[in-house]
Structure 1
Amino acid sequence: MTTPTPPDGSTTTGRQPQDHNPWAPPAHQSVDVPPATYPTHIGQPRNGMGITALVLGLVGVVLGVFVFLFWLSWLPALLAVIFGAVGLSHARKGRATNKGMAVAGLALGIVGLLIAAGSAVFTAVVVKHAVDGARSEIKEVKEAEESKAAEEKKRHLSFGEAYTFGNGLKVTVSKPTPFTPDEFANGHAKGNKAVEVTVTVVNTGSRRVGVETGMPDVKDSDGISAQLVIDGSGRQKVITGAVPPHGTVVGKYAFSLPPEAANPVEVKFSPDVSQWDDAYWSGPSS
């Protein structure tokens, strides 16, 4: 018995598997085909936040360098921190490619905020110091004015009271008393009222003190000056020279007041007007 020849003319040798069908079409070999690839759309990187953060951070730091512009530097620095954080988030998610810029902007923003805070504290300290200094000066001026006013008040006395000048001379001006000039008097007009002013000077110190300008000045309440009267009676005595330690000198001066002179009368006196302000004695004249 002969074996039929396959239609493709091939011959077989050897033993074939029992389930082999010699008439079946040849089996096709499987070939791995890679899956088809399709172009994917890649969007533009969103780098604006990082760039903005970097620019704002630089602006904040530069403005912060100028101490008194801290009120301008904090806002761009704060925005740099916000935009830097958003830009860094985009970079981490792959939606931005400028992670370095975002990090730099974030860092500069933080630095700018620290500089702004430090500048604010520094400015507050400087302003407080200036305000305290101004208040101190105002207080000193006020105290000086009050002291001057108090001293001025001390230098206004009533007749018979004593005032001690800085050189240790204690001066008392007595109430003016009537004075009758002699017929040879100079400075007294007929009808005027003549008065005599007595000035007593006591040296309370331990050294001699000179009286350089010991001439009083007399005015009425309207500010009208009295005329100094000089006669030949020898009753007037001018204080000159120096007063010995614990010594006393007395000066007598006559003045002529116009008949319309108003009370009270004021007497001004200083032992040395170049060094000491005048003291004033006032009250009604006799």
Structure 2
Amino acid sequence: MSQQMYGPPPQTGAPVPPNALPPRNGLGTAALILGIIGVVMGVIPFMFWLGGILGIIALILGLSGRGKAKRGEATNKGTATAGAVLGPVAVALSVVMGVVTFMAVDDAVKEINKSVSETRGKGATAENGGGGGGKEKAGDDGAADSGAAGGETYAAGDTVVYDDGVQVTVSRHTAYTPGEFAIGHTKGNKAYKVTVTVVNKGKEKFDTALLTVDARAGKDGKTAESIFDDKIGQGFNGTVVPGRTATAEFAFDTPAGAKTLEVEVSPGWSYNSSHWNLEL
């Protein structure tokens, strides 16, 4: 009886290497993603620096990805090439945007400085309103030699005239009785009221929104709190057109023994403050 021999079945197709690895396409993909983000960041003001950094990284990863593709370790040579191209583009855009941004910031700073220099320290002269204050001449730079800019004070009734035609007057003080629900008044202290008048003899509207009125009492210059009740404390509002006048009353809380009340009026951030010294 014959004996049959059995062997392994015949193989079909190409043999598969036992140690085959999947393609390593991570570098090329990362290069493309970072290149795209770098290009976008490169055209955004104040973010251009990030675009330059991402562009450099994309270039390095793209070149590394192309090397892997040439060695057969990756299959996305085109993706890696695109990332390597977008990297330098992102760097170039970031450089251009950096120059544009710095030029724009420099121009903006120059414009701000120019605006500040044109409006800084609007000077003032004082007109004697019968309170004993003499006239003060404005300096060549537009700021008053004394008074509003030099630290001297005016008397009640004196009018301060600013370079743009705005005039401010503080009246004599009068005793004031705060309302029952007044804010800012301390029991035992005295309250005094003054009237502040603003006349616009200039050519432009004057906005009273930035006008502030403060006071200090006594030799030690203790802050005199502003008093608010149903009759006083609303202050100014709106604008004063050329040729018109606005008036507001202010009341201040002072210690019982205070002999002086210094009222400070600032028409706005671009004006010098003016001071009136009132004898209580």
| TM-score interval, smaller chain | 0.3 to 0.5
Q: Scaled by the length of structure 2, what TM-score is found?
A: 0.46
Larger-Rg structure: 1
Q: Scaled by the length of structure 1, what TM-score is found?
A: 0.45
